[in-house]
């Protein structure tokens, strides 16, 4: 059966036969970069229309229904609108930092794609400290937001950026504790090995109630880290116009807009990898017949199916819960999620030491 890994092997063999090792590696990196940029573009188009359709479904209305069949081309129309809009730079802004901030947001998203296993034997970088790498690089995203807010020379932008900084730094702690629970159970920081450790069952099922608690904490924390409602205090329209990207327009705004959706995809891909087996099919213990049937479904479909399920979950949050105040947001983290996460990690550690997981 054709898969991503088959295509990658064919390209790798052809490049090594045609060019020397250095050029072949360089061309592979260029191809990988182009593929990631292409994936970003496709994800932007898909997730924007998905967001609108999910919102319409939850609110019992039609949503976009004019551009293309059943409105499916609406996100392409929005992209064309952003392409032809003029990119304005305020007079009092720090022009260098103002223009640099959206590109840093996109670069962070591109770097985070590297260690994710999209299918069996298909990932850009099989890094042995993948979990640590993802946790470290994702922290850099706050720099682009702080940079955009400060460089805009706008009080609303600065206030939104400061809120975002407090929010992301706070919720990283709970997200990190939730991730550590899977690291403790699997005994590795390598994302591909974490997936392989779930061959006989996903950790959300094998790890009992403590891992389910870790999963819930992870979903709440990453929703806050990606500035999604009900935690979108950094760009609260009713208070701050548009928050840290108030002064951005045209393609600079589009880069921030795209980075938000790509980051949602990335955190959901990480969640699917850690808790739901990544590209691993749904297996039940020693049920050989059932497991064999599940293996017929391509690993890439399993990965993207689980990832889009989590994306739907995060979108569901947005259109269900009202926006929190900043004090409520920080109280939720420091008074509830963090203590629960620390105690839960102790439980997971005890389960791992005693071998009480399936």
Whether 175 and 313 have beta carbons less than 8 Å apart is answered as no
| pLDDT, position 219 | 95
* CA pair distance 104, 96, nearest whole angstrom: 12
* pLDDT band at 1; cut points 50, 70, 90: very low
Mean pLDDT of 281-302: 85
Q: Which residue has the tokens 């999910």?
A: 54
Considering only residues 38 and 5, tell me which one the structure prediction assigns the higher pLDDT.
38
| pLDDT, position 242 | 73
Mean pLDDT of 33-43: 90
Mean pLDDT of 140-154: 89
Give the max Cα distance, the chain.
68
Counting residues of the chain whose pLDDT is more than 70, the rounded percentage is 97
* pLDDT band at 3; cut points 50, 70, 90: low
| pLDDT, position 283 | 81
pLDDT digits (tens, 9 = 90+) for 95-128: 899 999 999 999 999 999 999 998 888 888 888 9
Q: With 70 as the cut, is the pLDDT of residue 61 above it?
A: yes
The token pair that represents 152 in the structure block: 């805009």
* CA pair distance 144, 164, nearest whole angstrom: 11
| pLDDT, position 78 | 87
* CA pair distance 256, 46, nearest whole angstrom: 16
* CA pair distance 233, 324, nearest whole angstrom: 8
Considering only residues 341 and 249, tell me which one the structure prediction assigns the higher pLDDT.
341
The token pair that represents 117 in the structure block: 């296993």
pLDDT digits (tens, 9 = 90+) for 67-102: 888 888 988 898 888 888 888 888 888 889 999 999
Look over the chain and give the mean of its residue pLDDT values, rounded to a whole number: 89
| pLDDT, position 89 | 84
Q: With 70 as the cut, is the pLDDT of residue 247 above it?
A: yes
Mean pLDDT of 221-231: 89
- Dihedrals φ, ψ of 122, to 5°? -135, 100
User: Residue 207: which of 278, 283, 287, 276 has the closest Cα?
Assistant: 276
* pLDDT band at 210; cut points 50, 70, 90: very high
* pLDDT band at 310; cut points 50, 70, 90: very high
* pLDDT band at 178; cut points 50, 70, 90: very high
Mean pLDDT of 142-150: 90
Residue 62's Cα: distance from chain center in Å? 27
């Amino acid at each position: 059966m054709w898969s991503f890994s088959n295509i990658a092997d064919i390209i790798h063999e052809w490049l090594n036969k045609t060019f020397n090792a250095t050029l072949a590696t360089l061309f592979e990196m260029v191809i990988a970069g182009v593929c990631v940029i292409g994936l970003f573009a496709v994800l932007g188009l898909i997730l924007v229309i998905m967001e609108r359709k999910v919102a319409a479904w939850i609110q019992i209305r039609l949503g976009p229904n004019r551009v293309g069949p059943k409105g499916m081309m609406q996100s392409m129309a929005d992209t064309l609108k952003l392409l032809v809009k003029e990119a304005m730079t305020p007079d009092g802004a720090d022009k260098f930092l103002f223009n640099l901030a959206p590109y840093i947001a996109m670069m962070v998203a591109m770097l985070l794609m590297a260690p994710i296993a999209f299918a069996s034997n298909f990932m850009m970088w099989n890094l042995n400290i993948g979990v640590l790498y993802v946790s470290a690089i994702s922290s850099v995203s706050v720099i682009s937001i702080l940079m955009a807010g400060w460089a805009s020379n706008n009080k609303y932008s600065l206030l939104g950026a400061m809120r975002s900084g407090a929010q992301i730094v706070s919720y990283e702690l709970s997200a990190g504790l939730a991730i550590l629970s899977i690291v403790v159970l699997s005994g590795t920081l390598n994302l591909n090995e974490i997936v392989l450790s779930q061959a006989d069952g996903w950790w959300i099922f094998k790890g009992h109630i403590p891992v389910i608690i870790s999963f819930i904490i992870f979903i709440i924390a990453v929703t806050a880290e990606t500035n999604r409602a009900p935690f979108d205090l950094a760009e609260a329209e009713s208070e701050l116009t548009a928050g840290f990207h108030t002064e951005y327009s045209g393609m600079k705004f589009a880069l921030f807009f795209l980075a938000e959706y790509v980051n949602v995809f990335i955190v959901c891909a990480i969640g699917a990898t850690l808790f739901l087996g990544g590209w691993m099919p749904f297996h039940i213990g020693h049920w050989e017949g059932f497991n064999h049937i599940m293996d017929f479904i391509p690993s890439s479909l399993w990965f993207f199916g689980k990832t889009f399920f989590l994306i739907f979950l995060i979108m569901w949050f947005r259109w269900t819960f009202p926006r929190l105040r900043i004090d409520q947001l920080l109280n939720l983290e420091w008074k509830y999620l963090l203590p629960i996460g620390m105690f839960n990690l102790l439980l997971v550690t005890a389960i791992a030491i005693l071998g009480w997981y399936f």
